[in-house]
Structure 1
Amino acid sequence: MRTTPVVRRLLLALVLALLVGPAAVAVPAPALAAPNADDEGGTKKLRDALEAAARGHIDAQRKLDASVKRQKQLAGELGDVEKRLSALTEQAGALAARSYRLGRLGPVTMLLSSGSAEELLDRVAELELIAQRDDRALGALGEARIQAATAKQAIDAEVGEQRRQVAVLAQKKRDAERALATVGGGTSGGFVSVNSPLAKPAPRNADGSWPSESCSVDDPTTSSCITPRTLHAYQQARAAGFTRHTSCHRSGGGGEHPKGRACDFSAAAGGFEDRSATGGDKTYGDRLAAYFIKNASRLGVLYVIWYRQIWMPGTGWRSYSGGGSPAADHTNHVHLSMY
């Protein structure tokens, strides 16, 4: 039986392996599949707590920002009203002074001071015009006073809203710190770079909030689905040069993966490996994490986990211990969770 060159090479490699032992044949370790829910460390309770705290912070911050913006607009409107009110008050004072000096011209006075019926009619018409002008001025003054009072009440309401949202932000920060205390939680240097490129912002609602999204678009990294905002973040990262292997949707477990709102980005060029990233792979992960942090408000980032650290909008970078393995400690991949 004749053998092909490929078969002969395989037979030769087998003979050599049998003669000199398994150590003589170097077989590269294959890249691992994406971490599963159990591998990634942290409990469902922890992931749910982190999601709730991050979402609460983002919502409260948006409301606070909107209230501050609204207060600034109201202050400008109040300033304009107060200027008009000052001018109208001065005008009303002049009218009052004139009325005090001359008194109102009554019918008897007009009759006595008029030389003829025609002059009397002219005086009546003139008096009517003056009365109409005075009434308009006084009406505008009253309206301006009402507008000023309304603007002040609205500003007071916005200040109250801001106090409430600041309290919510403080509470959400405490919630996050309490949840993270079980997996480290101490402050850390984190990964930040002013040189990170800017991402194209994801669409928002008219009031600045994030649209509610479901797992409705094809996941380019698996055969399942992700949300449009998650797809946008994935595409923006790739456009910025972060093109190494990524896995987004994953069934089972808690967190955002099953909802299509999370992606794992391998640090190694060949895919997920069961070892902590070093050298260029570590630098790649550092840069990717910094990219997502710089663009968190543009993309709708809930939190990022990388190299035993976690970033959340209310806490910044904190230490994070997932259990000791490269997958659980996120030392072989960057985890991104989306709003």
Structure 2
Amino acid sequence: MSVRPRRWLTLALAPLVAVAFLAAPASPASADPDTPSTSSAQPDEKGDDNADQTLDDVLESSNRKYVQAKAAVAKSTTAQKQLTVKVTLAEAKRNVLIPEVNAIAAQQYRTGHLGTVSFLLGSNGSDDFLAKAVSLEEINTLHDKKLHELNEAIDEVNTTKAALDAEVKAEQTNLTAMAKQKQTADKALSLIGGAGLTAGFVDATSKVAAPAPRNSDGGFSPEKCTVNDPTTSGCITARTLHLYQEVKKAGFNNFVGCHRDGGPFEHPKGRACDWSLQKSGFSESHNATMKKYGNDLMAFLVRNADRLGIYYVIWYAQIWFPATGWHAYHGVSNHKDHVHVSLL
């Protein structure tokens, strides 16, 4: 019986897929999460950012972004659960395929590793030769297919896990940033008396005052009342004059009185000023413009207290000390018609 060995050899010499291919699973996919917002509710030292915003605007914005970030995390958590199911299915598919591929690899070892030529030449005749050639072709084809399916399953697991990790990481990073913004905005509100004093109806930022001169130890030494008071015929300290000039420079140009004869506390010592809410005289706050002027002036003083050497500030029946913060004030005046500031 004549045979056509060239054709059978062509079938028999189809590419064999190396078993070592199983040891090279696909690399995990990487993801570049969106960069979270880095804007801050903290007043900018230059006093430029948020110049036209009230602190209430910043508080609302930071709280809104925080809520949105929390919602995004909740959404990504839901997606995480869905992706976890997909991961489980992909892993199950992989686990089913591994025994099949191992079985094919074992069969290849028993056949293909003997050498294609010796395997075929060991046939008992032309029919057996043809059967073995076809068998070897089928083994290699099936081997290729199963290996391909296995690597697709592994790649799906890795890609899915990478996408899951990237999504969760991005959302958690954004939530952390938004939580920090919210905390900073809340802290900024607390610094200037909280919602009870200003209700956020105050400039989001204040201009930065030039620092008053300090002594060699970095502190503020006591000063005598030796400088002419530009608001009265009395005297003030050099530090009080510096504060007066910085407040004016910051745009607060309503009526102000500093030195006052007689009485206790800092006015007779030239270490205090009362800043009115109007151009002349004193009148209790009775409209939004006056209240905001007082709020903004108070905020400027408190935010710059360390630079200016401020001892305490009184505004709208509240008193602020750098060391203790805000407390109710029960003096003779409720200070709803002016902002009082005393210096060290």
Higher Cα radius of gyration: 2
Fold similarity call, TM over 0.5: no
Using the size of structure 1 for normalisation, the TM-score is: 0.42
TM-score between the two structures when normalised by the length of structure 2: 0.41
Point out which structure has higher relative CO (alpha carbons under 8 A, 6+ apart): 1
